[in-house]
Amino acid sequence: MRGPPEVEMVQTRQATLDEQFALRHPKSAALFAEAQRVFPSGVTHDGRYTQPYPIYVTHARGSRKWDADGHEYVDYFGGHGALILGHCHPAIVSAVTAQAARGSHFGANHELEVRWGQLVQKIVPCAQNGGMVKFVSSGTEATLMAMRLARAYTGRDTIVKFRGHFHGWHDYATVGMSDPWDQPSSAGIPRAVQNTMRAVPVNDVAALEQALSPGDVAAVIILLNGLSTEYLTQVRDMAHRHGTVLIFDEVITGFRYAPGGAQEYKRVTPDLTTHAKILAGGYPGGGICGSSEILRLLEHRDDAAWQRGRRIAHPGTFNANPVSSAAGIACLEIVQDPAIQRKAAATADTLRAGLREKLERRGIAGSVGGEVSLLNVSFSEPKVDARRLTFRFRTAMQMGGVDFSGLSAFVSAVHDDRDVEQTVRAFDQALVALREEGAL
């Protein structure tokens, strides 16, 4: 009996990557169809949007996760970088389940928030020696609060950031994210907000000096990934010379490069640091830490003029909620051991070497880079645009049982040799598939 024409077509020629993906993921396809009737484009986070459609995950453990169709993946999405200890670490699971049974929200102070903050003071260089901490609910909230603190402290309005550096999705953070650099990366941003931000090229000392020279800059905010100690020292010294607050955004790098983050690893200490992700052990939570002189702008005083005119007001329903506090304590008690970061970085180094070898063997121009346990892949001569290439690469890797975060990977301390071997094999297969379909 003859099958439907479309089935015969697949049988008589090599199936495309999308066709192979569709055959393997019918349940994810059905869930995505439902999701599109609920959420714009069917997703709840821009980073989860992909084509032809995303996989839907049912459970995860350690370095792996499983989708609705029963497929197992080596996971390098890593909770958007939050899971340096992998999925469902026993200590974190135990702490969270115990706390959930006691209460998820007291609407009151509690002992766990104190312990959590004390761990940050112990571990992070800029919070040591009298530094203070403030908890929020996300990385976006953390960078927004850091900017507000700097503005209140200096009495200035302008923030300098660096082109392409991501600091969350609030209005200020959208400026300078992508070319053209003087335009926000999102619609709906008031021109008045845009005018308070300056985006300069990274590693360009002269451009930074020019941006600071008007004397109206409250803060310089910067990611540390890939930047040298020498350059970061120059940035710090220039900021301080102009009376400007230096903010290190360590939402991703915090507790990952070293126990004290990239500032410990690179030996440069800022005035303020923003955290999220690893800070809360994979649960919702963020924070700002650093100079007590600046953070005391949040304190209450018996002074009406202070309360109304000088103080930064800051509520927040889920600030330091007990469940996230319990997860954060359990996580930080483990990651304060530098063996955790060394293990993740060593695995990433092995993985980088394996992927580079496959690029060279296949004769595909590209590179595999990144620092410590952050890994990224780039292709020098793609035949499709960057957005489509990212989608195609992720799909091709998923067909080999590996889930990358686009062209990047967050390597955890629980990824092992078996994971690396499978990842290198999947990468090799992905290169072949992408070349065959004309993406490379």
3 state DSSP class of 63 = coil
Q: What CATH code is assigned to 5-87+338-436?
A: 3.90.1150.10
Q: What is the distance between the alpha carbons of residues 264 and 413, in angstroms, rounded to a whole number?
A: 19
Q: What is the distance between the alpha carbons of residues 330 and 91, in angstroms, rounded to a whole number?
A: 6
Q: Which amino acid is at 428?
A: D
Residue 336 and residue 279 in contact, taking contact as beta carbons nearer than 8 Å: no
Q: Which two tokens stand for residue 159?
A: 């923030």
pLDDT of residue 8: 41
Q: What is the distance between the alpha carbons of residues 388 and 396, in angstroms, rounded to a whole number?
A: 12
In the chain, where the domains are located: 5-87+338-436, 90-335
pLDDT of residue 15: 81
3 state DSSP class of 315 = coil
Low-confidence ranges of the chain (pLDDT < 70): 1-13
Q: Which amino acid is at 373?
A: S
Q: DSSP states of 198-234 as a string?
A: EEE-TT-HHHHHHHHTTS-EEEEEE--TT--HHHHHH
Q: What is the distance between the alpha carbons of residues 152 and 10, in angstroms, rounded to a whole number?
A: 63
Domain covering 90-335, topology: Aspartate Aminotransferase; domain 2 (3.40.640)
Q: What is the distance between the alpha carbons of residues 96 and 10, in angstroms, rounded to a whole number?
A: 48
Length of the chain: 440
- 374, containing H or E segment: strand 374-379
Say which residues have a Cβ less than 8 Å from residue 191's Cβ, sequence separation at least 6.
none
pLDDT digits (tens, 9 = 90+) for 301-320: 999 999 999 999 999 999 99
Residue with tokens 């495309």: 16
Q: What is the distance between the alpha carbons of residues 430 and 440, in angstroms, rounded to a whole number?
A: 10
Summarize the chain as % helix, strand, coil (round to 5). Answer: 45, 15, 40
Q: DSSP states of 60-128 as a string?
A: EEBTEEEETTS-EEEE-SHHHHT-TT-BT-HHHHHHHHHHHHH-S--SS--HHHHHHHHHHHHH-GGGS
Q: Supply the angle between the helices 17-24 and 26-35 in degrees, to the nearest 10.
A: 90
Q: Is the peptide bond before 90 cis (omega within 30 degrees of 0)?
A: no
Identify the DSSP state of 339.
H
pLDDT digits (tens, 9 = 90+) for 59-69: 999 999 999 99
Strands 408-410, 374-379: pairing kind: antiparallel
Residue with tokens 């055959």: 23
